[in-house]
Structure 1
C-alpha cells in the first residue's frame, strides 16, 4: 500500500442528516461501498469500486443545518497546522480531536470562510 504525501488532499467527508439517502445516492451514482466505522459512532467509511481502503466518509448529522461536504488534508502535525492557519489569516473551526484508534483531526477555515479538515493518521 502506498502512503500518500503529507499536505495533500487524501480524504473527503459528506455530512448529512439523511445518511441512508446519501448512501443510496452515492452508491447509485458512483458505485461507492459503505461500512460503519468501528471507531466512530454515526460515521460510514466510503470505499471506491476496486479500492482496498476507504477514501472518505459519511458523517451522520443531527439536522440539515450541519450538512456539508469537505476535503481533508493529510498533515504531519495537526496542532502546528492549526497554529499556522491562524497566523495566515484563517480560523480553527473545531480544535484538534482524536478518535478511538488515535486518528487526530481538526476543522479549519480559510480567510474566505471555506471549511476544510486536516488529519494525522494513527501511529502504526
Structure 2
C-alpha cells in the first residue's frame, strides 16, 4: 500500500457556493467530515467511495495554503520521509507533517519543482464504502 492517488481535496473560502456548484453540475453530495471544517465529497463513482474532501479555508488564521485550490492527495507509507525526498528532489514543503483534526491520519502539503500543489497522507484506515480513508 502506498504511493497511489487516494483522493482529491478542494480548498475554498466559500465552501457553500462550491457545494452548490459541484452538486448542480456533477450531482456530488457533501457530508460532515473528519475534523472541522471539512466536508466529504461523495462522487457518483461505481464503487460508492467518497473520493474527495472540501475544506473551508477561511477558518484558519495564518493558513499557509492559498484560499482556493484543488489538489490530488497521495497515500504514502511515511509522510516525514516523503517530505525529505520531496525537498531533496527540488520540491518544497508547504505544510510539514501534522495530524488531521481527528488524529486519523498524518498529512503534509507540498509543491513539486514546477510549483504544482500536491499533498500526501498516511492512515491505517482502509477503504470502505462511503468512507474517505
Q: Same fold (TM over 0.5)?
A: yes
TM-score (norm. length: structure 1)? 0.86
- 1:72 partner SS: strand
- Structure 1's unaligned 5+ residue stretches are none
Q: Which range moves more in the overlay, 96-105 or 85-94? A: 96-105
**Number of residue-to-residue matches in the alignment:** 118
- Structure 2's unaligned 5+ residue stretches are 60-65, 127-133
TM-score (norm. length: structure 2)? 0.81
Task: Report the counterpart of residue 107 of structure 1 in structure 2.
Answer: 109
Distance in 1, matches of 2:51 and 2:26, equals 13
Alignment of 1:13 onto 2:14? no
Distance in 2, matches of 1:16 and 1:66, equals 6
Task: Report the counterpart of residue 117 of structure 1 in structure 2.
Answer: 119
1:72-91 aligned at under 5 Å gives the runs: 72-91=73-92
Task: Report the counterpart of residue 56 of structure 1 in structure 2.
Answer: 52
Q: Structure 1 segments of 4 or more deviating over 3 A?
A: none
- 2:77 partner SS: coil
Distance in 2, matches of 1:101 and 1:28, equals 32
- Tell me if structure 2 keeps the 8 A contact 1:101–1:122: no
Task: Report the counterpart of residue 63 of structure 2 in structure 1.
Answer: none
State the shift of 1:122 in Å: 3.5
Distance in 2, matches of 1:17 and 1:41, equals 14
State the shift of 1:48 in Å: 1.3
State the shift of 1:53 in Å: 2.9
Distance in 1, matches of 2:125 and 2:14, equals 33
Distance in 1, matches of 2:92 and 2:103, equals 26
